[in-house]
């Protein structure tokens, strides 16, 4: 089962190379794009997670998936929560 994407059931070399299946990487990229657009719309201010849920639905993502991805991005240092219910991208 090494190198198998549990979501798609297909062999995925990305799991071996990056530790994350391609399907997860694509969802992360989509979520970051959503957050970036919402930040731009909010003049760089933190984004309401409820707004991310709404936008994510347009891309076929449910709340559970979005929460999982947000938590993963917070742990990896790409996002932070300036206050409950909001996230912001870490920019250098």
pLDDT at 23: 72
- Threshold 0.75, pTM exceeds: yes
Structure tokens at 71: 């938590």
Q: What HEC string does 21-73 produce?
A: CHHHHHHHHHHHHHHHHHHHHCCCCCEEHHHHHHHHHCCCCCHHHHHHHHHHH
pLDDT at 30: 96
Q: Phi and psi (nearest 5°) for 7?
A: -75, -40
Q: In whole angstroms, give the CA distance from residue 70 to residue 61.
A: 12
pLDDT at 49: 98
Q: Which domains does the chain have, with CATH numbers?
A: 21-89 (1.10.10.10)
pLDDT at 41: 96
- Average pLDDT per block of 10 residues along the chain, 92 residues long: 66 60 82 97 96 96 96 94 97 78
pLDDT at 52: 98
Structure tokens at 76: 């990896």
pLDDT at 55: 97
């Amino acid at each position: 089962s090494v190198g198998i994407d549990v979501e798609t059931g297909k062999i995925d070399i990305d799991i071996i190379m990056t530790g994350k299946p391609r399907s997860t990487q694509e969802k992360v990229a989509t979520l970051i794009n959503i957050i970036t657009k919402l930040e731009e719309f909010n003049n760089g201010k933190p984004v309401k997670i409820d707004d991310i849920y709404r936008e994510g639905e347009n891309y076929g993502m449910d709340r559970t998936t979005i929460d999982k991805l947000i938590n993963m991005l917070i742990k990896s240092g790409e996002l932070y929560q300036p206050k409950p219910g909001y996230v912001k991208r870490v920019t250098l």
